[in-house]
Amino acid sequence: MKYQSVRFHEFGAPANVLSYETEENLTATPLKSGEVRVSIQFAPINPADLNYIQGNYGIRPSLPAVPGVESAGVVTESSSEIISVGDQVIFIIRVGTWQSEVICDGDEVIVVPAIPAEQASMLKVNPPTALCLLENYVNLKSGDYIIQNAANSGVGQCVIQIAKILGIRTINLVRREELIPELLKLGADHVLLDDDSTVEKVREICGENLPKLACNAVGGDSALRLMDALAEQGQHVTFGAMSMRSLKVPNKFLIFKRIQLHGLWVTKWIEENDRATVHAAYHRLAKWVAEGKLNQAIDSTYKPKNIIQAITHATEGKRSGKILLDFS
């Protein structure tokens, strides 16, 4: 079988440095004790992948390197006591999944229930980020409000769907008016334009029941609007910086509103929690996918040989979902 991979030999703009590489009649590397061989099915293109290729990610690889922070595949050979041949797995630790076959330790993957491989490939990053946002910073009860910017992002759409499952009400900020009907259909309670009128509208909607949690993926002025809209002692969690603008927090939010600021990177959440906790979260998320309660939109699928077209499409502003690489 032909081995396929997408690699980069220098850091830079993804469309300029990525290459599709193959190797015929690849000799199978024998497995060590505890390892598994996984045939990759699908791998999404994430913003983290673009940063990784540019050399701006939290992990900087030695070169040449294979990108890919998440994917799903099927185990074709196993020397692990906990993973069996035929299991559908996702990678929770490994970076480098844009290749047709991966050998790794069995502890680096999690077996997921029988859900579509495309959805499984997107399970590692956005859904647990959304779940952590909703459950790890404040004890939200049914009927409580949260507010988020970048509500049309992958994480934002997961927040809307998981909040609906948990009975939490969402106020969602977007930059384009045409996104409002789509998010309302997804289950959002309120969708507002992210502008200078946001805070006043939030207070009209919520009355005394102001949001207890703000989820910030943008930074800059948008992040400050979230702080202004929060209830006293609200929790403000930053997990992205789409605007590339730093947070400059007015003292009044810290002193008088006593807002607490946090940062979230799902990679650290995986590293800092025990295997049972991480597994339980992913199985919970996979169950919601299987039940049709949690779905991540897919815009297009490309074969890895068309990586430049795929990357170009992934970096376009107006997409209707994820771009996937199909290694199946």
Active site residues: 57
CA 268 → CA 108, 147, 274, 285, distances in Å?
Answer: 14, 24, 12, 18
Residue 165 structure tokens: 């499952």
Would the CA dihedral through 174, 135, 225, 241 be positive or negative? negative
Separation CA 20–CA 4 (nearest Å)? 7
Separation CA 102–CA 205 (nearest Å)? 50
Residue 41 structure tokens: 């099915």
The residues, any chain, with a CB within 8 Å of residue 44's CB and separated by 6 or more, are 70, 71, 121, 122, 322, 323, 324, 325
Separation CA 136–CA 197 (nearest Å)? 29
Burial class (CB in 10 A: 0-12, 13-18, 19+), 225: buried
CA 276 → CA 250, 279, 280, 316, distances in Å?
Answer: 40, 5, 6, 38
The DSSP annotation for 131-179 comes to HHHHHSSS---TT-EEEESSTTSHHHHHHHHHHHHHT-EEEEEES-GGG
What backbone torsions phi and psi does residue 74 show, to the nearest 5 degrees? Answer: -120, 135
Q: Are 14 and 54 in contact (CB under 8 A)?
A: yes
